[in-house]
Structure 1
Amino acid sequence: MKKSTWFILSGLIAALLLAGVVSNFASSHPDGLDSVAREGCTFDADDNITGGTCMAQSEAENQTKDSPLAGYGLRGVGNDVLSTGLSGVIGVVATFAIGGGVFWLLRAGTRDRTKQNA
């Protein structure tokens, strides 16, 4: 196998391990953007906004909340760890397939132009 093939495969394996295993150890606390959006508001024990002024008050409900991969999990899988891992793996595979397809198309277009100029 060529060096580039080994490089791509090792990157894919690393991404699959990170998405499938390490993703389960991610923090459940709001990320930086969520934290900034919540600044200036007060919250009750259930984390509902009770007062103040912040960007989070104009937040709308997620329109993809009923999709199979909503909420960093896979709908229909009862085990949270497995659900999160599988959704990460599906995301990596989909991203790799789309990215690989785009690069394949670009490479094929370059080859066609090279043959026409020869």
Structure 2
Amino acid sequence: MTARRFIGLGLLAAVAVAVLLSPFASQSPDGLERVAEDQGFVDLGQQSPLVESPLPDYSVPGGGGRWWSTPLAGAAGTLLTFGLAYGVGRFVARRKGDRPRR
């Protein structure tokens, strides 16, 4: 199997997991958020973010809670993460190739 095919199949598998399993994700807050809510200090940690999330609450803006909003956000996040990692990897590999070897 070529590297290109391996990467493509891995990406396809990751997108499939994001799309197919995201509707089953828990709607409950995570452990740290739950403790903060229970102890009454959850609002102390709320600050305005430096950058607004493009997919807040793992849903597509304008999705209105429709069934496809979370899977689409999962696919978009997976593809965006892959694209950034792939781009950085290509950049680093190219930079290493420019240096003379000892």
Q: TM-score, normalised by structure 2?
A: 0.80
| Aligned residue-pair number | 100
CA distances 1:24-68 after superposition (whole Å, capped 9, x unpaired)? 11011111121222233xxxxxxxxxxxxx33141426643xx55
Greater RCO between the two (CA within 8 Å, min separation 6)? 2
Separation in 1, partners of 2:97, 2:11: 26
- Structure 2, unaligned runs of 5 or more: none
2:93 counterpart residue number: 107
- Structure 1, unaligned runs of 5 or more: 41-53
Within-5 A mapping of 1:1-118 = 2=2, 4-40=3-39, 54-60=40-46, 63=49, 64=52, 68-78=54-64, 80-113=66-99, 116-117=100-101
More strand by share: 1
Q: TM-score, normalised by structure 1?
A: 0.71
Q: SS at 1:81's partner residue? A: coil
